[in-house]
Structure 1
Amino acid sequence: MSDRHSVILALQWPFRLLAQAALVGLVVITAVDVIGRVVFNSPLGFAYELVGLLLGVSVYAGLIGMNWHREHIRIDLIEGHLRKLPRFDRARAAMVWALEVIFFTIVALYVARQATQMLRWHETFLFLPLEKWLPLAIYAGFAALAALSTLISALPGCQANREDLS
């Protein structure tokens, strides 16, 4: 394993931990809200907003490691046909890689634009004492890191291995 590869894996560790903590938080908040609503007829007022925030954290923080390890959902409608043309494998892989980088860059830019619009209006959540632009700015940063992770994962010597998933 190269030094560059080790550094990248070490940089991803906090994001994986953050995504895992957000998923656990989703389960706990949802369970407490449902129990409170059904058993005590007193739901958590902020549960809906907090679940939305934690869902965003889990998705966007998880994208960084997912892109690095190339663990995307694959739609293989034409893969069988493309396998019949092995000379185009490199071109196809380069095109898929480029589309991924472009897609995640557009996501990062779009979410950042939404954050700046929310900042202008100073809109806050109904129950949480937090302006909406702040989580969007964090999500934009995570999406930018996901795009960067996709870009770096294509560089020679930086490819992730299956045993790195720990």
Structure 2
Amino acid sequence: MLKTLERMLRWSAGLMAAMALFGIMWLTLVDVTGRRFFNHSVPGGLEITEILMVIVIFGALPMVSWRNEHVVFDSLDGFIPDWLRSIQIRLVNLVCAGVFGFLAYLMTTRAVRFEEYGDTTVYLQLAIAPVAWMMALFLLLTALVHLLFVFVVVPVPTPHHPPAVVGERTPS
């Protein structure tokens, strides 16, 4: 089941983030080449880049959380006993789930407002609401990943916390 979830995340959020990054790369190449050799940039290139960056950043969030590759503060890990570390991991994931869930809620309210007002980008007149809905979806997916870690799965130690190092140092 976990392999299926990982595969679904990789082929949805991961693939979208990778394609958006690939699109940014090509857009930048075409834009710079056009400015340099033809004295014309890509119309609306900045707006397209901004939207693609949102997809890269928010699309990567569920994968980063699933792989437990986020930034960690581990200065006190050598002093925390193993039984407390398990509680700490679940508590941190619960807080993360709450924060990401709240951010998803805020983004949905923002998306509704964008739809009501008909907000668009300045140059290309692209609707902003679908981008906000996508951000809310990725935030909700990230919250669900952390919630899964609270109730179903305890995350596997990351390279930051290899099993051989955890609990090795003891307070003297």
In 2, Cα distance between equivalents of 1:36 and 1:157: 50
Q: Does 1:42 align with 2:37?
A: no
Q: Which of 66, 82, 88 lines up with 2:84 in the alignment?
A: 88
Q: Does 1:7 align with 2:4?
A: yes
Change (3 A) 1:160 1:16: farther
Which secondary structure state, in structure 1, belongs to the residue aligned with residue 76 of structure 2?
helix
What is aligned with 2:167? Answer: none
Q: Does 1:29 align with 2:14?
A: no
Tell me which amino acid in the other structure corresponds to 1:110: L
Which secondary structure state, in structure 2, belongs to the residue aligned with residue 61 of structure 1?
helix
Unaligned stretches of 5+ in structure 2? 159-172
Change (3 A) 1:37 1:31: same
Change (3 A) 1:159 1:90: closer
Moved more, 137-146 or 32-41: 32-41
1:153–1:160 Cα contact (<8 Å) kept: no
Moved more, 5-14 or 114-123: 5-14
Tell me which amino acid in the other structure corresponds to 1:11: M
Unaligned stretches of 5+ in structure 1? none
Deviation track 1:59-96 (CA, whole Å, cap 9, x = no partner) reads 1111111111111022x3xx333421315312322221
Deviation of 1:97 (Å): 1.1
What is aligned with 2:137? Answer: 141
Tell me which amino acid in the other structure corresponds to 2:59: A
Deviation of 1:160 (Å): 6.2
What is aligned with 1:98? Answer: 94
In 1, Cα distance between equivalents of 2:154 and 2:102: 23
* TM-score relative to the length of structure 2: 0.80
Deviation of 1:129 (Å): 4.1
1:36–1:44 Cα contact (<8 Å) kept: yes
Tell me which amino acid in the other structure corresponds to 2:114: M
- Across the two proteins, how many residue pairs are aligned to each other? 156
Q: Which of 116, 119, 137 lines up with 1:123 in the alignment?
A: 119
Deviation of 1:125 (Å): 1.4
In 2, Cα distance between equivalents of 1:63 and 1:142: 7
RMSD: 2.1
The structure having more radius of gyration, on CA atoms, is 2
Identity, in percent, stands at 22
Deviation track 1:82-127 (CA, whole Å, cap 9, x = no partner) reads 4213153123222211221112112211211211111111011123
More helix by share: 1
In 2, Cα distance between equivalents of 1:149 and 1:93: 13
What is aligned with 2:69? Answer: 71
Which secondary structure state, in structure 2, belongs to the residue aligned with residue 42 of structure 1?
coil
In 1, Cα distance between equivalents of 2:102 and 2:12: 24
